[in-house]
Amino acid sequence: MVLLGPPASGKGTQAELIQKRFGIPATSTGAILRREAKCGTPVGVAANKIISRGGLAPDGLILELVGEWLEKIGDSFLFDGFPRTVAQAEQFELLLNNRSTGLELVIFLEISDGTIRARMLRRLTCSNCGKVISIGRHVGDEGDPCPNCGGKLEARADDTDTALERRMLEYREKTLPVTDFYKRRGILARVDADRGAESVFNDVSRLIIE
């Protein structure tokens, strides 16, 4: 499965809920890149410059990371935030064909621009375990420790007005066409994500069970 949607549409939250309820191994290409950046690997340092400006990492690099992750797991998987370009979707299809497998479901989380900004302002990430935290949902205040590991919570470097503007531009130009790609394949389902995580998850669960 794949979860698609604009920044702060709740892809990470839904991926975590799906993984917990259905046991489907999940990964986020954004989280992999942030981990690489934190470890200071050459890939991470280069990617960090792009991410903090709100741009997209190169397709080749993303496909390499995805291929490495797929090697470690079986035929049941969930991607959050990948593919983000039509080129990624095409190359992903080839990669899966070579493994004699394919995608069954692509869920498109739809959300209004106003909600995106409001959610972004409430979003923090744990500097220790990487968990994505929402003020009001997981913690009461930005000074609170991570409820998962006690680590320090920080705002993401790309959750700024300037970076968000660029991320939205990239999203509209490069990621929205990916929804048409999967619509043509007959596996795209839309979910209204302008609601609380539990309501969204009810609809997402129904789609998975169907």
- In the block, tokens 């968990």 appear at 131
Q: First and final CA of the chain: distance in angstroms?
A: 13
* Given 11, 34, 119, 131, the catalytic residue: 11
Question: Could you say which of 3, 18, 51, 200 contacts ligand AMP (CB under 6 A)?
Answer: 51
* Given 34, 119, 131, 156, the catalytic residue: 156
| Residue 167 known to be catalytic | yes
C-beta of 51 vs 78, nearer to ligand AMP: 51
Only segment of 53-61, 94-102, 142-150, 194-202 that touches ligand AMP (CB under 6 A): 53-61
Q: How many helices (H) and strands (E) does the chain have?
A: 9, 8
Read off the tokens for 151. Answer: 């680590």
123 interacts with ligand AMP by CB under 6 A:
no
The β-bridge partners of 26 are: 78
Question: Could you say which of 1, 15, 26, 33 contacts ligand AMP (CB under 6 A)?
Answer: 33
Q: Decide if 38 contacts 44 (C-beta within 8 A).
A: yes
* Given 34, 119, 123, 131, the catalytic residue: 123
78 interacts with ligand AMP by CB under 6 A:
no
Q: Decide if 130 contacts 35 (C-beta within 8 A).
A: yes
Residue in 4, 9, 12, 19 with CA at minimum distance from that of residue 205: 19
Burial class for 83, CB neighbours closer than 10 Å (0-12, 13-18, 19+): buried
Question: Could you say which of 119, 123, 131, 167 contacts ligand AMP (CB under 6 A)?
Answer: 167
| Residue 84 known to be catalytic | yes
| Residue 152 known to be catalytic | no
Only segment of 80-88, 112-120, 136-144, 182-190 that touches ligand AMP (CB under 6 A): 80-88
**Backbone Cα Rg of the chain:** 16
Residues classed as catalytic = 11, 84, 123, 156, 167
Residues contributing to the site for ligand AMP (CB under 6 A): 7, 28-30, 33, 50-51, 55-57, 62, 81-84, 88, 158, 167
